[in-house]
Amino acid sequence: MPVPNNAVPQPSLRINEIFYSLQGETSRVGLPTVFIRLTGCPLRCTYCDTTYAFQEGEPLPLPEILDKVAQYHPHYVTVTGGEPLAQKNCLPLLQQLCDAGYSVSLETGGGMDISKVDPRVSRILDIKTPGSGEAGKNRWKNLELLTPQDEVKFVLCGEEDYRWAKQVLSERCVADRCPVLFSAAQGQLESATLAEWMLRDNLPVRLQIQLHRLLWGEGRGK
């Protein structure tokens, strides 16, 4: 039916996919979760495994996004990308998801301001290493905003990245602020090698292996 001329347009987001799966990363690994993947990202990391989210997607009004999520009756919801915070309406989406009673996490790169994210959201902050090709885009002020409910992730491409991440941990006291995750970039570093380095240096971090890859391999909706 026609939309009344005085109807207030609903805020929308460009969505790449919405799917239900097991969380493959972070401290929530293994938990059934609805993923909302937003389109677009200002970064081009060398190891990116979601390049299809750079451009592909369709605009959806926030109420429609909430309806799609509710169909799965989830407890956990993750907003990811691309870079979710590159779309301004990500902030009201996060707020509305929290208002709906979900346990919400946000997967964001290190380059966008996280200060206005709803405080009920667990922010998973990906610090870009030199091997990513995007280390110069890190917004270091974000670290000052982190709380124990947040997490910091380093994807490591090799030993140089590992040494760099250790220095960041030491100089910026990251592990004192929130849990820290180390993971090996697919095809560039073996997880077993990374584990040996972590044990040798007795680091206060958690090794992360992508559970969804182990279960289903690569692909969308995983």
pTM summary value: 0.91
State residue 77's pLDDT score.
98
14-56 pLDDT per residue, tens:
999 999 999 999 999 999 999 999 999 989 999 988 888 898 9
State residue 137's pLDDT score.
95
Tell me whether residue 128 is exposed, middle or buried, using C-beta atoms within 10 angstroms of its C-beta: 0 to 12, 13 to 18, 19 or more. Answer: buried
Residue (of 153, 97, 145) closest to 121 by Cα position:
97
Q: How confident is the model at residue 213 (pLDDT cuts 50, 70, 90)?
A: confident
Q: How confident is the model at residue 189 (pLDDT cuts 50, 70, 90)?
A: very high
CB of 77 within 8 A of CB of 36? yes
Name the region of 219 (left: φ>0; alpha: ψ -120 to 50; beta: rest).
Answer: left
Query: Do the strands 32-38 and 76-80 form a parallel or antiparallel pair, or are they unpaired?
Result: parallel
46-65 pLDDT per residue, tens:
998 888 889 899 999 999 99
CATH no., domain 12-152+209-216: 3.20.20.70
- Range in 5-14, 101-110, 193-202 the model is least confident about: 5-14
114-157 pLDDT per residue, tens:
999 999 999 999 999 999 999 999 999 999 999 999 999 999 99
147-186 pLDDT per residue, tens:
999 999 999 999 999 999 999 999 999 999 999 999 999 9
Q: Which two tokens stand for residue 112?
A: 């966008």
- When the pLDDT of each residue in the chain is averaged and rounded to a whole number, the result is 93
State residue 2's pLDDT score.
55
